[in-house]
Amino acid sequence: MKYSIMLRLWHWLNALSIFILVGTALLRKTFFDTDTLIESIAKSTQEYGANIGYEMAEVIAKAIHRPLWEWHIAFGYLLVFLLIFRIFIFVKEGVSYVDTVTIYNKLSTVIYTMFYSLTFFMVLSGLVLAQSDQLEASSFILHDIKNLHDTAAWFFIFFVPLHILSVVANSALKKDKSLSQMGIEHR
């Protein structure tokens, strides 16, 4: 079997965690965008004759965000453990994804290396953001870390669909068993 039980277990738990982290991030960037929420809260309360003002609308918007961030941070902590587990698998089994035989494998090797490096950054920056009260870091540093965290998120937003497309296309074109070997049985 090309991929060990440990690597396959890591792969699907990692996929679940990244799906939720990217999902909550995309919701935050679209339907739950703070300015959009503030505007619609101010407008709809005004229609009821209540003039609540910007600050109160912002408080309500942040209250609406809270469950989203609770999910984000919970799966963020799962990603912390999964990164430690992945490093353990690297130590036990070596860096199995490095392969330079074909252009496809060379490209996958570069992208997987970026994936692991940026996951390391998202875990570090995410932990600082999640523990910001305890760390008492200056708001300037926190603001910069949040911006970098937000910018690096785009790699994962593009990685997920491109990865799924490429592994399915690669497996179909080469008629190889990589999909089933990563744990998806297909007849």
| Least Å from the CB of residue 46 to ligand HEM | 26
Tally the residues of the chain.
Answer: 187
Q: Would you tell me how many other CB atoms lie within 10 Å of the CB of residue 121?
A: 13
Does 37 bind ligand HEM (CB under 6 A)? Our answer is: no
CA pair distance 20, 27, nearest whole angstrom: 10
Does 184 bind ligand HEM (CB under 6 A)? Our answer is: yes
Contact 179, 164 (CB under 8 A): no
Does 4 bind ligand HEM (CB under 6 A)? Our answer is: no
With CB under 6 A as the contact rule, the residue among 57, 61, 82, 115 that binds ligand HEM is 115
Residue 43 or 62: the one with the smaller Cβ distance to ligand HEM is 62
Query: What b/e readout covers 27-65, taking b as 16+ CB neighbours within 10 angstroms?
Result: ebeeebeeeebbeebbeebeeeeeeeeeeebbeebeeeb
Does 25 bind ligand HEM (CB under 6 A)? Our answer is: yes
CA pair distance 51, 12, nearest whole angstrom: 48
Stretch that binds ligand HEM, among 36-44, 50-58, 136-144, 148-156 (CB under 6 A): 148-156
| Least Å from the CB of residue 54 to ligand HEM | 18
| Least Å from the CB of residue 55 to ligand HEM | 17
Residue 11 or 45: the one with the smaller Cβ distance to ligand HEM is 11
CA pair distance 53, 17, nearest whole angstrom: 37
Stretch that binds ligand HEM, among 44-52, 53-61, 70-78, 136-144 (CB under 6 A): 70-78
